[in-house]
Amino acid sequence: MSGFLRDKRAWETVQAFLGVLDARHKATAAHSLRVSVLALAVGRAMRLPGRQLAELYAGTLIHDIGKLAIPDEVLDKPGALLPEEWAQVREHPLTGRSLIGDGRRLGAVGGIVLGHHERYDGGGYPLGLRGDAIPPLARVCAVADALDAMLFERPYRERVALPHALAELERCRGTQFDPAVVAALDAVRWAEALDAARDAASPGAVFRL
C-alpha cells in the first residue's frame, strides 16, 4: 500500500498509539491487529483504492484506542455488564477520537475511530448515525470488528465457526451493517485472511508492523 503509509509521521503516530494499547491491554491490541487484517481483506474485496486501504488499515489498528480509559475489570468481565459499565464502554469511540486530536495528518482514521460502533439503521453509538452518514471506512471496520468478536474467543463468549459468523452478518445486513460491505464478504479468501489475522496477533507482532 502506498500514499498514507508513506507519511512517516502519520504512521509513527499510529504505531505509538498501538504500542500504548499493547502495553495497557494486550488482548485489545491483539484484537485490533486481527481486525486490521480482516478489514483489509474486505476492503480489497470491495476494490477500495490504495489510499483508502491504507487509511482503513491504520484506522482499524487503533479503532479501540479509547478503551485505554476503561478499567480492566470492565474490559475483562466474563458476564453481563452493569448499566454504568456499559455506559463506560459506549464512550470509547468518543474518547478515542479525542485522544488522536484533530487528526488532519491521519485522514479518515478519525472517522473509523469515532464511527465503528454506529449501525446502518441508526441504532448504534455514540452519535446514532445512519446509512451514508456513517464514514465509509467505519462501516467496513464495523463488519471486521464483529467478525473478530465472533471468530475469536472473548471472556464472555466462545468463538463460533466461520459459516455461522458469516450467516449472522448476512442476517444483520441493512440493519446493523452496510449491505455493500456484507455483499463483498463472498469474495474474501477466508482461509488466507484468518491465517493472516492469527499471525498478525501473535506475540510480538505489534512491534513488527
Give the pLDDT confidence of 47-60 residue by residue, as tens digits: 999 999 999 999 99
pLDDT score of 171: 98
Q: What value does the CA radius of gyration of the chain take, rounded to a whole number of Å?
A: 16
Give the pLDDT confidence of 61-109 residue by residue, as tens digits: 999 999 999 999 999 888 889 999 999 999 999 999 999 987 677 889 9
Domain count, the chain: 1
pLDDT score of 207: 44
Give me the CATH number covering residue 22. 1.10.3210.10
pLDDT at position 17 over 80? yes
Paired residues of 177 in beta bridges = 173
pLDDT score of 205: 59
Those residues with Cβ within 8 angstroms of residue 39's Cβ, 6 or more apart along the chain or in another chain = 56, 57, 60, 140, 141, 143, 144
pLDDT score of 204: 60
At residue 71, the 3 state secondary structure works out as coil
Could you list the residue range(s) of the whole structural domain that residue 79 is in?
Answer: 3-207
Please name which of 81, 143, 144, 91 lies closest in space to residue 114, comparing C-alpha atoms.
91
d(Cα 61, Cα 191) in Å, to the nearest integer?
21
At 209, the pLDDT band (50, 70, 90 cuts) reads very low
pLDDT at position 20 over 80? yes
At residue 202, the 3 state secondary structure works out as coil
Rounded to the nearest integer, the mean pLDDT of the chain is 91
pLDDT at position 2 over 60? no
Phi, psi (5° rounding) for residue 50? -55, -40
Report, as an integer, the average pLDDT of 150-174: 90
At 6, the pLDDT band (50, 70, 90 cuts) reads low
pLDDT score of 3: 52
Residue 73 CB neighbours (<10 A): 8
pTM metric for this prediction? 0.93
Residue 174: C-alpha distances to residues 121, 147, 163 (Å): 7, 16, 19
User: Do 10 and 4 touch, CB atoms closer than 8 A?
Assistant: yes
pLDDT score of 60: 97
Tell me 134's DSSP state.
S
Residue 8 CB neighbours (<10 A): 8
Residue 11 CB neighbours (<10 A): 18
Please name which of 65, 5, 45, 4 lies closest in space to residue 209, comparing C-alpha atoms.
5
